[in-house]
Amino acid sequence: MASLKELKGRINSVKSTQKITKAKQMVAAAKLRRAQAAAEAARPYAERLSGVMASLASKVSGDSAPKLLAGTGSDKRHLLVVVNTDKGLCGGLNANIVKAAKAKAKSLIAEGKDVSFYLVGKKGRAPIKRDYADRIEKHFDTSEVRNPGFEEAEQIADDLIERFEKGEFDVAHLVYPVFKSALAQDPTVDQLIPVPAPEGDATGGDAVVEYEPGEEEILEDLLPRYVKTQVFGSLLEREASEQGASMTAMDNATRNAGDLINKLTIQYNRSRQAAITTELIEIIAGAEAL
């Protein structure tokens, strides 16, 4: 049985840990409001852009379609762009993203496809490297940026488009978390390149719309912007998901620390009472012996 001094030290240690987890929970809650607002504000823009692309893509086909829309004509080589967080202490968020990426890779390999990884963020590197060390194309580090934004998304998108133009892959998939709430962040796998033809039409039914310049020229400029928007949206969703998962994880850690403190306090009180009783028995026994 642990001594009273050891129990007291453990109680103080757990109390210190509880203070840290409580502070991190409050910080994550404050950051979550901003991150959630940014993620939700970006969604209507992406939806509207998809609608405009749907209208343009429906009028362009065949050899006139840009490569980002038409593809390479093959789907042999696949690139998985996995967006993980740079920091830990956010529950099972990164594990779920990596799990979704590995499941997608496994299914593609089973179909006879060549699969490689493009990793964004630090926390997904080690688990993916254990199984697919020879398939990792690049690590893109966002840890040195306090709040990764459109500039980082633009760098990632430009690099991906350049690799696509060079013929390094045929299809790119974006694996990232979608923020639902502080308790739910769903890993999602979307095709990024070639840009999938969006469903729906933003022009308003049977209205006749004339574009100037032509649809092909507009798409040439719009498709790279769409890729950048999708990557930017995934970074915003990642930030919101990270703060939500971190807040939930720190809340659970704080509660668990409180339960452990209660158990250790009961154990300490029992040990202290037993020590006092033993001392009283020794004193009484000594007095009777005299």
The pLDDT of residue 283 is 81
- Concerning whether 90 is annotated as a catalytic residue, the answer is yes
- What is the model's pLDDT at position 276? 83
Fold of 25-248: Pyruvate Kinase; Chain: A, domain 1 (3.40.1380)
In angstroms, what CA-CA distances link 65 with 52, 54, 55, 70?
16, 13, 13, 6
pLDDT at 220: 75
Nearest to 79 by CA among 124, 122, 118: 118
Residues 271 and 11: their CA atoms lie apart, in Å, by 14
Residues of the chain with pLDDT under 50: 202-206
Q: 94: closest CA among 182, 180, 190, 177?
A: 177
Domain boundaries of the chain, sorted by first residue: 4-21+250-289, 25-248
Torsion over CA of 265, 266, 268 and 272, rounded to 10 degrees?
A: 130
Q: Which of 180, 181, 82 is nearest to 129 (CA)?
A: 82
Whether the upstream peptide bond of residue 187 has omega within 30° of 0, thus cis, is: no
**For residues 121 and 157, what is the distance between their CA atoms, to the nearest angstrom?**
15
Candidate list 14, 53, 69, 90, residue with the active-site label:
90
Q: What percent of the chain has pLDDT over 90?
A: 0
Q: What is the pLDDT of residue 1?
A: 60
DSSP string, 121-176: SSTTHHHHHHHHGGGEEEEE--TTSSS--HHHHHHHHHHHHHHHHTTS-SEEEEEE
- The whole-number pLDDT of residue 203 equals 46
SS3 content of the chain, % helix, strand, coil (to 5): 60, 15, 25
Q: Whole-angstrom Cα distance, residue 213 to residue 288?
A: 110
Beta-bridged to residue 177, according to DSSP, are 187
